[in-house]
Amino acid sequence: MHDHPTTDLDGYDWPVCVTPRCTRRLWVAEAGRWACRPCEDATTKRITELPGLFRRLDTTAMLMRGARRPGGATSGSKTPPVPPRLEVLALVGPGGIAARLSAIEDAWRKVLGWTVAPWRGSPAEAVPQHAAFLANNLLWACSSYEEVGQDIDDLRRLHGECAALASGEKRPGRVGIGICPVVVGDRWCGTALTATTNSHRVHCAGCGARWDGLGEWRNLRAAQEAVLEKQARQQREGVAA
């Protein structure tokens, strides 16, 4: 039923949580579940906080370009007098938080054999209703819905986006740092690598190689330089031939 590692207990495959960032072994009391109870508890907290985060973002102060604090004074109008912050508008608009919660609700309703969610009104009206549905049915999803791990991860990312904007946090962007130098079979991987500006942790999406910490970062850079030197030498030899 689950994808999980094999233990040394007579080859028994111990079930693990399906949440991408968790994948810990389930307790005996969690037998039959897809997602573990800690993931369920954390997701419940995030779901219940989303309506409040929406209200903090859906203000003139937050929509105005350059707004920093969610508690700033507003003019009473939801229409900003200057070009809005697009990252905030993307979350509070029709295709934002409400639509992302609605997509999860509709998927759960389909599996449950229920009718699709009724029209919830504007995003401000819809978000609390979607959140209430997800909170009320999260236990079912963690216990009986195989795809719940991806939904839990989507809710984590959505909550993170909202919380970062509501607090004025500037999340570090990703930058390109060259290609993956790991040899796979008879060739080198060559996948484009990226990293955040505040971390030395790098993961290759192509071959799965990881570099954690400053020491391994330096090893990565040295390996990349060796690959580049080898490519340059091969190119020179090809031209000479």
Sorted by where each begins, the domain ranges of the chain are 28-167, 174-240
- pLDDT score for 118: 84
Q: Residue 232 has which token pair? A: 């340059």
| Burial class (CB within 10 angstroms; exposed 0-12, middle 13-18, buried 19+) of 215 | exposed
- pLDDT score for 73: 43
What is the full per-residue pLDDT of the chain (241 aa) written as tens digits? 444 444 444 555 678 898 988 878 887 777 789 999 899 999 999 999 999 999 999 887 777 645 444 444 444 444 443 345 678 888 888 788 999 999 999 999 999 999 888 888 889 999 999 999 999 999 999 999 999 999 999 999 999 999 998 887 655 556 667 788 888 877 888 888 877 655 667 888 888 888 887 677 778 877 887 877 777 677 667 655 5
Q: Are 33 and 42 a contacting pair, CB within 8 Å?
A: no
Helix-strand-coil split of the chain, %, nearest 5 = 50, 10, 40
Q: Are 202 and 223 a contacting pair, CB within 8 Å?
A: no
Give the Cα separation of 90 and 84 in Å (integer). Answer: 10
Give the Cα separation of 232 and 235 in Å (integer). Answer: 5
Tallying the residues shown for the chain, one arrives at 241
CA-to-CA dists, residue 104 to 88, 134, 142, 156, 239, angstroms: 21, 8, 13, 13, 57
**pTM summary value:** 0.60
- pLDDT score for 227: 78
